């Protein structure tokens, strides 16, 4: 048993992880057990934010800020955007086509005569809607199929894996195009368009969730606690949902964020290729980029730059969050503050909190009394 003295909190998700900064409010050391961080402190992203240091923290914060701006734009598009996404004229007449940036149209107008700034803001809303619908659909279907396939195994597993592999073999954008044609039949009103785009993205991403959850389920299936549930006589659905599912969703937030950024890209790709949503139904960055193709060569920069930047920044923000979460989830990749030489206290039992040796030969008395000194949370 060559255990290096690292407390298990490094690997566990819900481990005590309050930040070691002085004055961060962790003053409740009177309690009998290592103070648990507040509910807020244990929320997925907040927990990691507190845990991170240095460059990793910078990346995470940058990603969070970009993502927050993007989400705010999407949710409050109605109030932020000066005009509607399909608005061509206001009280003082038509906007005019390909107008350079001016006080009334700060990012100019497109070849179709729309206000670029408004289209970019409204586009965030479309992208967010597609992202949410696509991820919700693919997460539920993918996780369920992966769990069933991984835990039950047998012929069902083999068939599902072959199907997932087959979908993988298609270029994802091509598949999305085919799906969007099948679903919407070429027409695209607002919800039809969003659903078509979302479902076509879903089809591409289900195999990813399926794969990840399946491999986790296969791994967890052989863990002792699942066997222990079997010995107890628990039913298969109970084992699947109570014991396997909850333990296999650990990596889900990571794929979730990475897929979210890919969903934005796929949506933009569909729009760019002309399979997206009509400009009168919703604003869509890919469509605007497509229409600005000819502008670029004639020196009209504002119609392409802003939708393009919007795509890049939204993908970058979500990816940064995803990548940082990925690094922080792995104790080996996670950065920590360096400690001064010979600092810190010797942990009560260096391996596991709450279980000093006195709990052994010393008897029960030792077991219950030592907790006050168990101040390893600092």
Partner 1 sequence: MTDESLSSPAVTPVVDIRDLEVSFATDAGAIKAVDRVSLHVNPGEVLAIVGESGSGKTVTAKAILGLLPETATARGAIVLTGAGVSNDVVTLSRKQLRGIRGSQVSMVFQEPSTALNPVYTVGWQIGEALRAHGKYSRAEAKAKAIEILGRVGIPDPETRVNYYPHQFSGGQKQRVVIAQALVLNPGLIVADEPTTALDVTVQAEILDLLRRCRDEFGAAIVLITHNMGVVADLADRVAVMYQGELVEEADVVTLFSSPQADYTKRLLASVPHVGQGSMQTAERASRRDAAWASAAPVVVASQLRIEYPGRFGRSPFVAVDGVSFEIRAGEVLGLVGESGSGKTTIGRAIAGLTRVSGGSLQVLGHEMNGIRERTFKKSRSDIGFVFQDPGSSFNPLLTIADCVAEPLVVHGRARDARGARPRVNELLEAVQLPASYGDRFPHELSGGQRQRASLARALALEPTLLIADEPTSALDVSVQARVLELFASLQKEFGFAALFISHDLAVVDLLADRIAVLYRGKLVEEGTGAQVLGAPQHPYTQRLLASLPVPDPVEQASRREALRALRAAEPA
Residues 116-135 that bind partner 1 (CB under 8 A): none
**How far apart are the C-alpha atoms of 238 and 249, rounded to whole Å?**
16
Q: How would DSSP label each residue in 298-310?
A: TT--HHHHHHHHH
Binds partner 1 (CB under 8 A): choice among 71, 86, 167, 367: 367
Site string for partner 1, 147-166 (x = CB under 8 A): --------------------
| Shortest distance in whole angstroms from residue 40 CB to partner 1 | 18
**How far apart are the C-alpha atoms of 246 and 250, rounded to whole Å?**
8
**How far apart are the C-alpha atoms of 133 and 187, rounded to whole Å?**
19
3-state secondary structure of 339: coil
**How far apart are the C-alpha atoms of 95 and 107, rounded to whole Å?**
12
Candidates 91-99, 187-195, 282-290, 363-371: pick the segment binding partner 1 (CB under 8 A): 363-371
Q: Supply the Cα-derived Rg of the chain in whole angstroms.
A: 26
Candidates 121-129, 166-174, 185-193, 347-355: pick the segment binding partner 1 (CB under 8 A): 347-355
| Shortest distance in whole angstroms from residue 377 CB to partner 1 | 6
| Shortest distance in whole angstroms from residue 354 CB to partner 1 | 5
For residues 51 and 9, the answer to whether their CB atoms sit within 8 Å is no
Q: 280 CB contacts (<8 Å, ≥6 apart)?
A: 86
Our CB check for partner 1 shows the closer of 282 and 325 to be 325
213 belongs to the binding site for partner 1 (CB under 8 A): no
30 belongs to the binding site for partner 1 (CB under 8 A): no
> Rounded to a whole number, what is the largest CA-CA distance in the chain?
90
For residues 218 and 147, the answer to whether their CB atoms sit within 8 Å is no
Residues near partner 1 (CB under 8 A), total: 71
325 belongs to the binding site for partner 1 (CB under 8 A): no
27 belongs to the binding site for partner 1 (CB under 8 A): no
| Shortest distance in whole angstroms from residue 252 CB to partner 1 | 14
Site string for partner 1, 42-61 (x = CB under 8 A): ---------x----------
**How far apart are the C-alpha atoms of 214 and 144, rounded to whole Å?**
9
For residues 16 and 35, the answer to whether their CB atoms sit within 8 Å is yes
| Shortest distance in whole angstroms from residue 350 CB to partner 1 | 4
Our CB check for partner 1 shows the closer of 33 and 89 to be 33
| Shortest distance in whole angstroms from residue 310 CB to partner 1 | 37
| Shortest distance in whole angstroms from residue 253 CB to partner 1 | 15
For residues 121 and 285, the answer to whether their CB atoms sit within 8 Å is no
- Residue 93 φ then ψ, to 5°: 105, -175
15 belongs to the binding site for partner 1 (CB under 8 A): yes
Strands 93-94 vs 89-90: parallel, antiparallel or unpaired:
antiparallel
96 belongs to the binding site for partner 1 (CB under 8 A): no
Which 240-259 residues touch partner 1, going by CB under 8 A? 242-243, 246-247
């Amino acid at each position: 048993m060559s255990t290096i003295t690292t407390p298990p909190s490094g690997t566990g998700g819900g481990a005590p992880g309050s930040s070691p900064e002085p004055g961060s409010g962790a003053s409740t050391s009177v309690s009998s057990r290592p103070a648990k961080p507040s509910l807020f402190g244990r929320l997925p992203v907040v927990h990691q934010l507190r845990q991170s240091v240095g460059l990793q923290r910078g990346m995470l914060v940058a990603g969070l800020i970009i993502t927050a701006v993007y989400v705010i734009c999407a949710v409050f598009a109605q109030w932020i955007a000066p005009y509607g996404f399909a608005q061509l004229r206001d009280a003082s007449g038509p906007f005019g086509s390909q107008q350079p940036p001016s006080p009334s149209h700060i990012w100019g107008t497109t070849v179709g005569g729309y206000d670029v700034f408004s289209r970019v803001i409204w586009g965030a809303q479309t992208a967010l809607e597609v992202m949410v619908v696509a991820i919700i659909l693919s997460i539920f279907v993918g996780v369920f199929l992966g769990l069933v396939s991984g835990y039950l195994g047998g012929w069902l597993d083999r068939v599902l894996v072959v199907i997932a592999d087959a979908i993988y073999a298609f270029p994802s954008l091509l598949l999305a195009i085919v799906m969007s044609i099948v679903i919407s039949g070429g027409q695209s009103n607002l919800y039809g368009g969003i659903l078509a785009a979302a479902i076509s993205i879903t089809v591409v991403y289900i195999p990813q969730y399926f794969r990840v959850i399946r491999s986790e389920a296969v791994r967890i299936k052989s863990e002792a606690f699942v066997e222990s549930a079997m010995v107890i006589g628990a039913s298969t659905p109970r084992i699947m949902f109570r014991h396997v599912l909850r333990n296999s969703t650990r990596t889900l937030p990571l794929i979730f964020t990475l897929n979210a950024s890919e969903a934005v890209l796929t949506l933009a790709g569909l729009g760019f290729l002309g399979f997206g949503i009509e400009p009168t139904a919703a604003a869509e960055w890919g469509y605007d980029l497509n229409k600005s193709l000819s502008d670029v060569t004639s020196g009209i920069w504002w119609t392409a730059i802003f939708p393009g930047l919007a795509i890049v920044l939204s993908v970058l923000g979500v990816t940064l969050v995803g990548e940082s979460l990925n690094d922080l989830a792995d104790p080996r990749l996670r950065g920590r503050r360096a400690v001064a030489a010979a600092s810190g206290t010797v942990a009560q039992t260096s391996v596991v909190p709450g279980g000093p040796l006195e709990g052994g030969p010393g008897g029960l008395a030792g077991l219950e009394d030592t907790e006050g000194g168990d101040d390893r949370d600092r």
